[in-house]
């Protein structure tokens, strides 16, 4: 089979999409929320309505942890314990968009 100009354009588009995709996913290196005693309240709040492991599949598929509820605890406690934000820390609302929960 001969590879024509049109095919090369298609291949180029696929390669560009892949490169962009990998570039974006590489940025997900933000420190996750530690799953320790200190952060237990965060995990408990976020997953307090979690469906049981034997719940119907559609219930588990549509389940979302209560991230907004959990985020309410982050800043007050970090302030109280004197946890420093790095100097160039980005805008601080919605912590859990960037700092993922471990599971
Ligand atoms: C009850 C107190 C408390 C709450 C609530 C809390 N933190 Fe923390 N966090 C700490 C303390 C203390 C540290 C310092 C390191 C340690 O002792 O775990 C810390 C460290 C961290 C770190 C750095 C971890 C590392 O590996 O360097 C991240 C990221 C973090 N917290 C994110 C969050 C986010 C996001 C939330 C809210 C969803 C949150 N924390 C809620 C007390 C808290
Ligand atoms: C827009 C994304 C974003 C949001 C929102 C955000 N952070 Fe961060 N945070 C970062 C990045 C990027 C870093 C620096 C890279 C790293 O160490 O993870 C960082 C670093 C930190 C660190 C130091 C981690 C370490 O390893 O030393 C703590 C603690 C922290 N953030 C807490 C919070 C808390 C609490 C909130 C919510 C009030 C929050 N962040 C919201 C992106 C974000």
Is 37 near ligand 1, meaning CB less than 6 Å away?
Answer: no
Give me the count of residues in the chain. 103
Indicate whether 3 belongs to any domain.
no
Structural domain boundaries, residue 47: 30-98
Tally of domains in the chain: 1
Cα gap 1→85, rounded to integer Å? 58
Handedness of CA 19, 21, 23, 29 (dihedral sign): negative
Q: Find the ligand nearest to 32 CA.
A: 1
Predicted local confidence at residue 101, as pLDDT: 92
* 78 C-alpha to ligand 1 centroid (Å): 6
Indicate whether 22 belongs to any domain.
no
Cα gap 92→85, rounded to integer Å? 10
Indicate whether 20 belongs to any domain.
no
Is 95 near ligand 2, meaning CB less than 6 Å away?
Answer: yes
Indicate whether 23 belongs to any domain.
no
Indicate whether 84 belongs to any domain.
yes
Task: List 33's β-bridge partners, or say none.
Answer: 101
Predicted local confidence at residue 8, as pLDDT: 93
Indicate whether 12 belongs to any domain.
no
3-state secondary structure of 72: coil
Predicted local confidence at residue 95, as pLDDT: 94
pTM of the predicted structure, to 2 decimals: 0.82
Predicted confidence pLDDT, tens digits, the chain (103 residues): 788 889 999 999 999 999 988 877 766 678 999 999 999 999 999 999 999 989 888 888 899 999 999 999 999 999 999 999 998 998 888 999 999 998 7
Indicate whether 103 belongs to any domain.
no
Indicate whether 86 belongs to any domain.
yes
């Amino acid at each position: 089979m001969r590879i024509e100009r049109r095919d090369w354009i298609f291949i180029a588009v696929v390669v560009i999409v892949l490169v962009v995709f990998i570039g974006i996913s590489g940025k997900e290196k933000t420190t996750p929320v530690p799953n320790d005693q200190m952060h237990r309240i965060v995990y408990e709040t976020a997953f307090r309505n979690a469906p049981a492991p034997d719940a119907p599949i559609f219930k588990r598929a549509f389940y979302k942890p209560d991230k907004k509820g959990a985020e309410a605890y982050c800043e007050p406690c970090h302030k109280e314990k004197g946890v420093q934000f790095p100097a160039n820390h980005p805008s601080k609302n919605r912590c859990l968009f960037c700092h993922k929960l471990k599971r």
